[in-house]
Amino acid sequence: MIDLHYWTTPNGHKITIFLEEAGLAYRIHPVNIATGDQFKPDFLAIAPNNRIPAIVDHDPADGGGPLSLFESGAILIYLAEKTGTFLPADLRGRHETLQWLMWQMGGLGPMAGQNHHFSIYAPEKLPYAIDRYVKETGRLYAVLDKRLADRPFIAGDYSIADMASYPWIVPYERQSQDLETFPNLKRWFETVRDRPAVVRAYQRAKDINTEPTVNDAAKSVLFGQSADTVRR
């Protein structure tokens, strides 16, 4: 059994997609990041960065005690290795997939996240910041579009690289991106979107978070953090 500490955001969706695809038994523990659940001591004990997602595997392959992990990329690699799925075993295929997973973790996710922040949530609309992140998101979309020109998925067969990137393309309109101008990316997006496991993962999110709006109280929880938040 896997305990998934989760909220209904792109980094959370990555893990429900994997778990649904692999058919692993899991329990969701909602961590409402808009109301501050990410600062509860039980969550911080497994996720010291106060960010979702995190997992606890009660049946790790080494037969030892429960194994906990935070960081969505690390969780995807762990689950892929645990199940022997969605990450090729051969040297070249494995590293091609991990390379694109890292591209998402270090590039697409953080840049699209800053795009959301400055375009939608920031109290002041700063043209330089908005332009910077909209353009950088567009550049990353173009990289993915080019990559997908001659292959159906990001790295070989459908893999954890696709599962990591897809949830960050879902809010493309909020990122001021037009999928019509990225035809290969659009075709891939629709293929992943229509997978039954992906549909199930997004349905779970809807069942858990019926009001996914970020109000002023949530903004002060999410965007007022500093070193003091961690030291408290």
Ligand X SMILES: N[C@@H](CCC(=O)N[C@@H](CS)C(=O)NCC(=O)O)C(=O)O
Q: Which amino acid is at 101?
A: L
CB nearer to ligand X: give 51 or 187.
Answer: 51
**Should residue 11 be labelled a site residue for ligand X when binding is judged by CB under 6 A?**
yes
Tell whether residue 38 is a contact of ligand X (CB under 6 A).
Answer: yes
- Interacting span for ligand X (CB under 6 A) from 48-56, 117-125, 169-177, 182-190: 48-56
CB 222 within 8 Å of CB 116: no
Cα(102)–Cα(80) distance, integer angstroms: 15
Beta strands in the chain (DSSP E): 2-6, 26-30, 54-57, 67-70
Q: Omega of the bond prior to 48 within 30 degrees of 0, cis?
A: no
Please choose, out of 3-11, 90-98, 150-158, 176-184, the segment that lies near ligand X by the rule CB under 6 A: 3-11
The correct pick among 17, 33, 79, 161 for binding ligand X (CB under 6 A) is: 33
Give 135's contacts (C-beta < 8 A, 6+ positions apart): none
Nearest Cα to Cα of residue 21 among 207, 145, 166? 166
10 interacts with ligand X by CB under 6 A:
yes
Cβ proximity to ligand X: between 144 and 221 the closer is: 221
Contact with ligand X (CB under 6 A): which of 9, 114, 119, 159?
Answer: 9
Q: Hey, what are 46's tokens?
A: 């497994």
Residue with tokens 């699209």: 112
177 touches ligand X (CB under 6 A)? no
**Counting contacts by CB under 6 A, is residue 71 touching ligand X?**
yes
**By CB under 6 A, is residue 222 in contact with ligand X?**
yes
Count, residues near ligand X per rule CB under 6 A = 13
Q: Output the CA–CA distances (angstroms, integers) from residue 173 to 53, 72, 87, 116, 179, in the order listed.
A: 24, 23, 30, 10, 9
Stretch that binds ligand X, among 66-74, 77-85, 129-137, 151-159 (CB under 6 A): 66-74
Residue 72, φ and ψ in degrees, nearest 5: -60, -35
From the CB of 199, what's the least distance to ligand X, in Å?
A: 20
Q: Which residues bind ligand X (CB under 6 A)?
A: 9-11, 33, 38, 50-53, 71-73, 222
